[in-house]
Amino acid sequence: MGGEGLTSLGDEGCRLRQMMVWKEVTNLGTITVGDEKSGVSHVAISPDGKTALVTRDGDHMISVLAIDGTQVEYTKRDLSAGLRPYGVVISADGTVAVVANIGRGSGDADTISVIDMTAKPVRVVETVTVGQTPEGIILSPDGTLCAVAVMNGSNKPKESPFYADHGKLLLYRLDKMHLTKLAEAPIGHWSQGVAFTPDNQYILVQNMVEKAIMVFKMAGEKLEDTGHRLQVKGGPAAIRIAERPL
């Protein structure tokens, strides 16, 4: 059973199709990585279905899993990217991954890291400073851009010396495992997930406090706030857009 709806973004000519499909899920087993304090957070699976990255924000590690059909093995290879790795995504061609290291929330600048998935063994090859608490991170469908939603202290009390009245959306070019900053735009408070539309033309950013999803348009290598807000009933925390029709 399932259902779908269509949300229009008006004059910008972009439409988002919301679909819900129910399928059967079968538990094939359990893999142990780290201990009870490891804080397993996100999992990303390579397009060929042979490798997975598991972020562990409790002990600052990223575990590499090997997949062979329905068999999954912890390779005992743990990557060191930064403090509290959290969001992680692998490119559509499987050659590179990026991870957001959210840090300790102590007002210090935090980082994002690039992982070379073609190296043997897989390894972190670059780390870039982005500001306070980068939680949402995504690669564009063509793998050339990286978007990061940075809380920027917007989730802290107003009396905090680290408070800022808005988060930041940062846009980077990804070229040969190297990140180059292209653009920056203000977003809402306590910002979470971020997503590209399949045509690379729009970026969606979730804001917990405003209970809304902002819509940005790519204008060359710049970010343009379209002014569209998709209001939701609760604080949106995670978002993905299907890479191909379901």
2 pLDDT higher than 80: no
On whether the CB atoms of residues 215 and 201 are closer than 8 A, the answer is no
Task: Give the Å distances, CA to CA, from 72 to 51, 76, 197, 220.
Answer: 9, 12, 31, 42
Q: Taking the CB of residue 34, how many other CB atoms lie within 10 A of it?
A: 16
Instruction: Say if strands 212-219 and 61-68 run parallel, antiparallel, or are unpaired.
Output: unpaired
Q: Give the CATH superfamily of 39-231.
A: YVTN repeat-like/Quinoprotein amine dehydrogenase (2.130.10.10)
Helix ranges (H only) for 67-113 are: none
Could you give the CA distance from residue 10 to residue 16 in angstroms, rounded to a whole number? 11
Q: What is the pLDDT of residues 138-172, one digit of tens each?
A: 999 999 999 999 999 999 999 999 999 999 999 99
Mean of the per-residue pLDDT values of the chain: 88
% of the chain surpassing 90 pLDDT = 76
For 5-14, 91-100, 176-185, which range has the lowest pLDDT when averaged over its residues? 5-14
Enumerate residues 6+ apart whose C-beta is below 8 A from 188: 154, 166, 167, 205, 207, 208, 209, 210, 212, 214
On whether the CB atoms of residues 208 and 191 are closer than 8 A, the answer is yes
Give the pLDDT confidence score for residue 241 in this predicted structure.
84
pLDDT bracket for residue 35 (50, 70, 90): confident
pLDDT bracket for residue 13 (50, 70, 90): very low
Residue 22, phi then psi, degrees to nearest 5:
-100, 130
On whether the CB atoms of residues 118 and 111 are closer than 8 A, the answer is no
Could you give the CA distance from residue 95 to residue 123 in angstroms, rounded to a whole number? 12
- Residue spans per domain, the chain: 39-231
242 pLDDT higher than 90: no
SS3 4: strand
Residue 100, phi then psi, degrees to nearest 5:
-100, 125
Could you give the CA distance from residue 193 to residue 136 in angstroms, rounded to a whole number? 4
Give the residue with greater pLDDT, 35 vs 74: 74
Give the pLDDT confidence score for residue 136 in this predicted structure.
94
User: Which residues are bridge partners to 100 per DSSP?
Assistant: 112
206: left (phi over 0), alpha (psi -120 to 50) or beta: beta
Give the pLDDT confidence score for residue 21 in this predicted structure.
57
Percentages (nearest 5) of helix, strand, coil residues in the chain: 0, 55, 45
pTM to 2 decimal places: 0.86
CA-closest candidate to residue 151, choices 211, 232, 213, 207: 207
pLDDT bracket for residue 3 (50, 70, 90): very low
Enumerate residues 6+ apart whose C-beta is below 8 A from 231: 211, 212
